[in-house]
Chains A and B, each alone.
Chain A
């Protein structure tokens, strides 16, 4: 595809459940990023992959959050034991290293 795609576009879950959010980057981009955007705020960095490895996961809020990128392309953000405070829009971006990041449409997560 031409741009970054994210699925699902919306996810509603119950407190305590497990969720997976998927990101498909722009073809050829080796760097992939996850951000979280709460209402009325700017996006906040979560994690950055260069290839298959997480180069910087300093933004993950706690150990309930985990992300993988096993083949260096698609990435999955996994959230265990979801809490109401996890409700936000989760944004994925990709780039060639050191260049501008291009964002996907986001996944809106609602934890009831």
Chain B
């Protein structure tokens, strides 16, 4: 079965502080993709990143960085120097090979205040 766990329901962060959002996933597939989406108060899901299961290199995009560790089945997301515009719900998601990489399985989200 496929599952994504975001244990942090809500995180309060002070502006300019760094914050890390945790994501742990479960899948039996050896090939899969991992994603992060942002859902601001307007409600529209905004795509942030897609990472292939064979690529464990960390990635940085501006104030955002992602740490993928296959050994612990984690794909954590760090926001550096947080800003008011970062307030949103953040979802981690997985598409396993057995769905043809088409079906997104989402976690329950972490609300960043």
Contact = CB atoms under 8 A, between A and B. Distances in A.
B43 A89 contact: yes
A85 B59 CA distance: 40
A66 interface: no
B108 interface: yes
Given A33-B104, A41-B108, A105-B42, 15 more contacts: A31-B102, A43-B45, A45-B105, A48-B102, A48-B103, A56-B99, A56-B100, A56-B102, A58-B103, A98-B100, A101-B47, A102-B47, A103-B37, A103-B45, A103-B47
Contacts of B70: none
Contacts of A89: 43
A91 B93 CA distance: 15
Interface residues of A, number: 27
Given A42-B109, A103-B44, A106-B44, A98 B101 contact: yes
Given A100-B35, A100-B50, A42 B106 contact: yes
Given A41-B108, A42-B107, A44-B106, A104 B101 contact: no
Contacts, number: 58
Interface in A54-112: 55-56, 58-59, 89, 91, 93, 97-106
Most buried by B among A40, A42, A97, A100: A42
Contacts of B103: 45, 48, 56, 58-59
Contacts of B50: 99-100
Nearest to B42: A105
A33 B99 CA distance: 13
A99 B4 CA distance: 19
